[in-house]
Amino acid sequence: MSDRLFALRVFVRIARSGSFSKTGQELGLSQPSVSRIAAELEKEVGAALFTRTTRAVSLTEAGQDYLARIEPILAALEEADHAVRGTGELRGLLRVAVSSSLAVREIVPQLPLFMERYPALRVELMMSDQRQDLVQEGADLALRFGVLPDSSATARRVAVSPRMLVAAPAYLVKHGTPSTPADLSEHAMILGPTGGRTWEFRQGGRSASVRVDGRLLVSLNEAAIAAAVAGLGIVQTSRWGCRAELDGGALTRVLPDWDAGQLELHAVFPAGHAAKPSARSFIEHLMQHFAA
């Protein structure tokens, strides 16, 4: 790889991470080496690309414009390399932004086959339960739930999972099992991150809308599922969010004859950039898994 091309890759990582030291850690370079490469690049282009402070590194207006022009070029070069090799081999680093629950429950179990197929590829799972900014975080793709807001980012639906109500068998023995959505008003509800406060149900031509409340509110799926397993009440989640507990008998479905809707999972790619070959291959791999 030429020095200039490498410098451009270093520039992009600095821009995305906002840190010379973090870029150095990612690329196996010392912080002074990263700083020197950035300074030499600025000298070559004849403009200040970064504003440096003791706490962070940010792009100047010229740097932002340069980044917008350079990233598509680097993506095109990677795409060209991939096409010319013609071997299906993927290299480099694939950075995936994903919620911690989905990563642990569904994504990590699918990694062995994918990484065995592409031994030269490194994968970084950027796990956070807050919605991440793909551009700022430098992610190649994000896996996001729900209906997506209007955005210039490119998105692809990966899979859908039925929403469902679940509770511990011991809770249902003690408090009874609801037979209609209206019965939920008599039960303890666990308000998790995906259900909202109004739950919609359909059965044949009938529909029901139930306003729910509860004494326990949690912001993470894992906490909601743990609370349900502990017998604290009924929670609404997706099949992805409780598969292991359902299969193991720790939880059982409530109102299984009622359709509680579905939860969509989308792959979202940074706006204005072609999806990396590794990102496309990863999504294809996941789609096969979820379709099985």
CATH of the domain at 198: 3.40.190.290
Please tell me the predicted confidence (pLDDT) of residue 136. 60
Flag whether 154 is in a domain.
Answer: no
Instruction: Please tell me whether residues 164 and 257 are part of one structural domain.
Output: yes
- pLDDT value of residue 103: 94
Is 240 a member of any domain? yes
Q: pLDDT by residue (tens digit) across 101-110?
A: 999 999 999 9
Q: What is the DSSP letter of 105?
A: I
One-letter amino acid identity for 148? Answer: L
Of 51-60, 105-114, 259-268, which gets the smallest average pLDDT?
51-60
> What would the mean pLDDT of 8-30 be, rounded to a whole number?
87
- pLDDT given for residue 133 in this prediction: 61
Give 58: exposed, middle or buried? Use CB within 10 Å, 0-12, 13-18, 19+: middle
**Is 117 a domain residue?**
no
Enter the pTM of the model: 0.71
Residue 231 forms part of a structural domain: yes
- Reported as type and span, the H/E element at residue 262 is strand 262-269
In a domain, 103, yes or no: no
- Least confident segment among 58-72, 146-160, 254-268, 276-290: 146-160
- Among 67, 86, 105, which residue terminates a domain? 86
Domain termination site, one of 86, 113, 139: 86
Distance of alpha carbon 190 from the chain centroid: 24
Q: What CATH number should be reported for the domain holding residue 82?
A: 1.10.10.10
Q: Choose one of 86, 119, 150: the last residue of a domain.
A: 86
Burial of 61 (0-12, 13-18, 19+ CB in 10 A): exposed
Confidence of residue 68 (pLDDT cuts 50, 70, 90): confident
User: 289 in a domain, yes or no?
Assistant: no
pLDDT band at 174 (very low <50, low <70, confident <90, very high): very high
Phi-psi region of 115 (alpha: psi -120 to 50; beta: other; left: phi over 0): alpha
Instruction: Calculate the average pLDDT of the chain.
Output: 87
Do 258 and 166 fall within a single domain?
yes
* 26 close to 17: Cβ distance less than 8 angstroms: yes
Q: Does any domain span residue 238?
A: yes
Q: Quick one: how far is CA 107 from the chain centroid?
A: 10
Q: Residue 87's pLDDT is what?
A: 56
Residue 138 falls inside a structural domain: no
Compute the residue count for the chain. Answer: 292
Question: Would you place residue 93 in the very low, low, confident or very high pLDDT band (cuts 50, 70, 90)?
Answer: confident
Q: CB neighbours (10 Å) of residue 14?
A: 28
Q: How many domains does the chain have?
A: 2
DSSP 79: H
Q: Which domain holds residue 36?
A: 1-86
